[in-house]
Amino acid sequence: MTNTNNKTKKILVWDAPVRVFHWLLVLSFFGAYITAESESWRLLHVTLGYTLGGLVAFRILWGLVGTRYARFSSFVKGPSAVLAYLRSLKSAQPQHSVGHNPAGALAIVLLLLSSLALVASGWSVYNDVGGEWLSEVHEVVGNLMLLLVGVHVAGVVMASWRHRENLVRAMVNGKKDGLPQQGIVRAWWSLAGVMVLTVLGFWWLQWQSAPSGADTAGAPTSTSPFKKTERDGDDD
């Protein structure tokens, strides 16, 4: 009699909060990036920046207490593990991880850290704390994060090809190849729903505080991404 527990199948790996976090982070970062150049879009830029910060704070907490593959302890490895994984990609049977592979884990950690630096520097610039040099820091970190995103996407494409599994689809439906006993039991849809409602509620509150079109007419435009121009009333 064949033991079905020894056969790989599609199992639930990514819980709903991890997936919702991932796609809201994508939306928040790119939305903030493309709205950074115009003072007219400042409120939207700031709103998405704060959303980014809240999402990262949640992900750090969920990385400590979340489901099996969401926890940092399950996927953050040392440099030797990352190098070993990258070398294995050249072989006929590259190392396979049910959760994040070591290289992908490194990219995730760097993205989380750069997100924190981006939000902190953006808050300082917006509130005129720390001096003009923080505007340059904010811009550099924003462009560095864009580069990291590009590397991450390239890694996802490479890993999908080498492991013959669609990692983008896995971040949508939460399922990857693995043994039945390796899957997580609960998707935590209720928590994911709270996340979405919280974000939408925050956006609604920000919309209520938006100035009228007359107040923003003729607003100046900043000359570079992630750099705030002077706010109304700052000029002498």
Residue 204 and residue 47 in contact, taking contact as beta carbons nearer than 8 Å: no
Residue 148 and residue 104 in contact, taking contact as beta carbons nearer than 8 Å: no
- For the record, the structure tokens of 193 come out as 């729903």
| DSSP per-residue string spanning 84-97 | HHHHHTTSSS----
Tens of pLDDT along the chain (236 residues) come to 445 567 888 999 999 999 999 999 999 999 999 998 878 888 999 999 999 999 999 999 999 999 999 999 999 999 999 999 999 988 888 898 999 999 999 999 999 999 999 999 999 988 888 788 989 999 999 999 999 999 999 999 999 999 899 999 999 999 999 999 999 999 999 999 999 999 999 999 999 887 765 344 334 333 333 344 444 444 44
- For the record, the structure tokens of 176 come out as 């990857």
- Give pLDDT, residue 218: 38
Residue 149 and residue 28 in contact, taking contact as beta carbons nearer than 8 Å: no
- For the record, the structure tokens of 52 come out as 């980014």
Q: Could you give all domains of the chain from N- to C-terminal order, each with its CATH number?
A: 18-165+198-216 (1.20.950)
